[in-house]
Amino acid sequence: MDNNNDKQLKGFNNFSKFLLIYILIAFFMFYMYQYFTTQQSVEISYSQFKELINKDKVKSCSISEKYIKGIYIDKNGKKRRFITVAVNDPDLIKDLEAHHVDFSGKITNTWLTNLIFGWILPFGFLFFIWWLMTKKMRGTSGGLFGFGKGRFKVYLNEKPDVKFSDVAGADEAKQEIREIVEYLKDPQKYQRLGGRAPKGVLLVGAPGVGKTLFAKATAGEAGVPFISISGSEFIEMFVGVGASRVRDLFNEAKKLSPCIVFIDEIDAIGKSRAFNSLTSNDEREQTLNQLLAEMDGFDSSKGVIIMAATNRPEILDPALLRPGRFDRQIIVDKPDVKGREAIFRVHIKKIKISPDVDVKKLAQMTPGLVGADIANIVNEAALLAARENRDAVYMEHFEEAIERQIAGLKKKNKVISEEEKKRVAYHESGHAICAYLLPGADPVHKISIIPRGLSALGYTQQLPVDDKYLLTKEEMLDKVVTLLGGRAAEEIIFGSVSTGAQNDLSRATDIVRALITQFGMDEEIGLVVLEERSGGRFLTSEGIISQDNKISERTKQLVDEEVAKIMGECYAKAKELLLTHKDKLKMLASELLTKEVINEDELKNIMEGDNGD
């Protein structure tokens, strides 16, 4: 339990402080004893010492290897202590005997001084430096001798102030998790029919979709203890620490049952043991093995639910995902347009907005963005409004925040020559006109020639009317024609092309290659899959796996020829569209050079207006 860990850590720290204080006090007292013993004696020269002997003023003395200490009578007849440096004087003993001085020899014993200054202080200093260096590594694991203690957080009386009402955009996942909460509140409802709660619930989704937020909402709704830990906190440089912390975590969970245990980023310890045998990590594997054993060893009927989150499910060990461990995998997907609208409504409650803010339009302007992105957009819009000393956050602030999120910061001070600016205007106009004319392309929302981000000198923002999960061949080809429209416009107006189309060409080539090799839409290649996207059962990653060992060289050559052929056909179609509407192209580019930004209504007026010819 976290409270026990804190007590152990606090106790060890208090003991360390007291021990250090006692050592310092002892050292100080020893030093002061040495200091005052030396200061109470009058330091005299050896010649003065001999003179005092001859005058019968010295009563007693003790002779050591380095010093001679004793008592003499001063001018006032009072006894005083003296000290002088011993020298090699063969007649000293004869003189002392002749004047009846009580003298004795003294063996100098410096073992204590040597022990303190030669051993204790140097090694103590080295120990202190080592303790400081390993303090961060130990973190809150229980001090110097508590590496194996769990570093989890336990919420007992205080719980996260997040409810299901604060989670929007993933209703299906919310319903699945709500069932877990209901089981913890009323287990008899499910057990009367012989059912049992799942031992483990794995939340899977892209970064920022709200997996951790779901876990906090579960804790806020369930009313049971909530134990939270990150997967990376199990791993240390010391072998066996991770397994020990897993045992500590589950022991605590059994004591607090019914409860919820949440492991964030479980892929840190749950990576497949066969994922890369050449770079195996014994400590991580021991931790995973202990986790698997513990999940088998406890009874879910006692109300201990294990929740975990990951955005890399494809690398998890299969043993973690089998029934009896993480029985239920819940996909927290990217929100659709209705989900994004709900997320916007949750976040704008915290700020003061203007009546002109259209939340539905904001949701349409943010396809593909997740909850974390939307939260950042709302916050950025509020900051922009505050910077301008406005009384509320207006629609223009949200639009600027969205453009910052998608395209980067606006760079009005970036120096661009008039010739380059003109080329950028025609390039973006080419994209916009092709998108406007082609039925399969997404509608144009805004055209801008204001530089943004690292390399974008301009951009054409297209917004889908609705979220699409399937694309036809015609829609994919229309997207390619739109991407190539910028380069085609440059060639028509200037008779040459620039490097500005590099990103357009890359995206267009990816679409055409996917059309041929992944979706079987090319007549020459046929209904075969030559490449497939890497990924697990839950998420689709961006990586492409080519089945090189199953493809002949002739097929590879044919694929390359088909890609070049389709790209050429799409480019010819883009040029044909722009040549047919060359007057619109010039009007739109001229308007862009004047205003720098054109919205969808202005584009529509130009495309549907009368030329005056």
Residue 26 in this model has a pLDDT that exceeds 70:
no
The C-alpha atoms of residue 300 and residue 199 are separated, in whole angstroms, by: 6
3-state helix, strand, coil in the chain (%, to 5): 55, 15, 35
Between 119-133, 165-179, 541-555, 580-594, the lowest mean confidence (pLDDT) is in: 541-555
Contact present, 287 and 331 (Cβ < 8 Å): no
Residue 475 in this model has a pLDDT that exceeds 60:
yes
The C-alpha atoms of residue 215 and residue 307 are separated, in whole angstroms, by: 8
DSSP conformation class of 118: I
Residue 539 in this model has a pLDDT that exceeds 60:
no
Residue 147 in this model has a pLDDT that exceeds 70:
no
Q: What is the token pair recorded at 324? A: 């009896």
Residue 279 in this model has a pLDDT that exceeds 80:
no
DSSP conformation class of 277: G
Q: What's the pLDDT at 487? A: 95
What's the whole-number mean pLDDT along residues 537-541?
A: 42
What's the whole-number mean pLDDT along residues 355-366?
A: 90
The C-alpha atoms of residue 340 and residue 346 are separated, in whole angstroms, by: 10
Alpha-carbon distances, residue 135 vs 3, 230, 529 (angstroms): 19, 19, 54
Residue type, 361: K
Alpha-carbon distances, residue 29 vs 16, 22, 32, 39, 184 (angstroms): 20, 11, 5, 15, 62
Q: What's the pLDDT at 544? A: 53
Percent of residues, the chain, with pLDDT higher than 90: 27
- Number of Cβ atoms within 10 Å of the Cβ of 263: 27
**On the CB side of 602, how many CA atoms lie within 13 Å of its CA?**
17
What's the whole-number mean pLDDT along residues 455-466?
A: 79
What are 108-138's pLDDT values in tens digits? Answer: 666 666 677 667 777 777 777 776 666 544 4
Residues near 577 by beta carbon (within 8 Å), at least 6 away in sequence: 433, 434, 437, 438, 481, 485
What are 38-94's pLDDT values in tens digits? Answer: 556 788 888 888 988 888 888 899 888 788 888 888 888 888 888 888 888 888 888
- Cis amide prior to 258 (ω within 30 degrees): yes
CATH number of 337-407: 1.10.8.60
What's the whole-number mean pLDDT along residues 445-466?
A: 80
Percent of residues, the chain, with pLDDT higher than 70: 78
Q: What's the pLDDT at 162? A: 74
DSSP conformation class of 117: I
Contact present, 149 and 5 (Cβ < 8 Å): yes
Total residues found in the chain within this entry: 613
pTM above 0.85, yes or no: no
3-state SS class at 159? coil
Alpha-carbon distances, residue 319 vs 146, 292, 325, 608 (angstroms): 30, 8, 8, 62
Q: What's the pLDDT at 393? A: 94
Domain segments of the chain as ranges: 2-111, 153-275+282-331, 337-407, 418-608
Backbone angles phi, psi at 52, to 5 degrees: -65, -35
The C-alpha atoms of residue 243 and residue 290 are separated, in whole angstroms, by: 5
Which contiguous run of DSSP H or E holds residue 549? none
Contact present, 538 and 202 (Cβ < 8 Å): no
The interaxial angle of helices 502-517 and 553-580, nearest 10 deg, is 130
Q: In DSSP terms, which residues pair with 43 in a beta bridge?
A: 83
Whole-number average pLDDT of the chain: 80
The C-alpha atoms of residue 143 and residue 8 are separated, in whole angstroms, by: 8
Q: Which residue has the higher pLDDT, 442 or 282?
A: 442
Q: What's the pLDDT at 18? A: 55
Q: What's the pLDDT at 14? A: 54
Q: What's the pLDDT at 217? A: 82
Residue 5 in this model has a pLDDT that exceeds 60:
no
Q: What's the pLDDT at 3? A: 47
Confidence band of 469 (pLDDT split at 50, 70, 90):
confident
Domain 2-111 classification at class level:
alpha beta
Q: How far is CA 367 from the centre of its chain?
A: 24
Residue given tokens 């709302």 in the structure block: 378
Between 1-10, 477-486, 530-539, the lowest mean confidence (pLDDT) is in: 1-10
Residue 263 in this model has a pLDDT that exceeds 80:
yes
Domain 418-608 classification at class level:
mainly alpha
Q: What's the pLDDT at 395? A: 93
Q: What's the pLDDT at 182? A: 79
Which contiguous run of DSSP H or E holds residue 29? helix 2-39
Q: Which residue has the higher pLDDT, 224 or 514?
A: 514
Q: What's the pLDDT at 9? A: 45
Residue 320 in this model has a pLDDT that exceeds 60:
yes
Q: Which residue has the higher pLDDT, 111 or 383?
A: 383
Q: What is the token pair recorded at 133? A: 């260096």
Q: What's the pLDDT at 152? A: 61
Same fold, 2-111 and 337-407: no
What's the whole-number mean pLDDT along residues 149-162?
A: 60
The C-alpha atoms of residue 604 and residue 311 are separated, in whole angstroms, by: 42
Query: Left if phi > 0, otherwise alpha if psi is -120 to 50, otherwise beta: which for 295?
Result: alpha
Residue 443: which of 355, 365, 518, 330 has the closest Cα?
A: 365
CATH number of 153-275+282-331: 3.40.50.300
Residue 198: which of 214, 181, 217, 211 has the closest Cα?
A: 181
Q: Which residue has the higher pLDDT, 271 or 31?
A: 271
Contact present, 5 and 145 (Cβ < 8 Å): no
Confidence band of 455 (pLDDT split at 50, 70, 90):
low
The C-alpha atoms of residue 247 and residue 245 are separated, in whole angstroms, by: 5
Residue 429 in this model has a pLDDT that exceeds 50:
yes
Residue 221 in this model has a pLDDT that exceeds 90:
no
What are 197-215's pLDDT values in tens digits? Answer: 777 889 998 888 888 888 8
Q: What's the pLDDT at 374? A: 93
Which contiguous run of DSSP H or E holds residue 184? helix 171-185
Backbone angles phi, psi at 533, to 5 degrees: -80, 140
> Looking at 74-144, which runs of residues are DSSP E strands?
79-85, 102-105
Q: What's the pLDDT at 344? A: 93
The C-alpha atoms of residue 581 and residue 437 are separated, in whole angstroms, by: 10
Which positions are annotated as active-site residues?
428
- At residue 571's C-alpha, the angle toward residues 565 and 576, to 5°, is 125
The C-alpha atoms of residue 109 and residue 436 are separated, in whole angstroms, by: 100
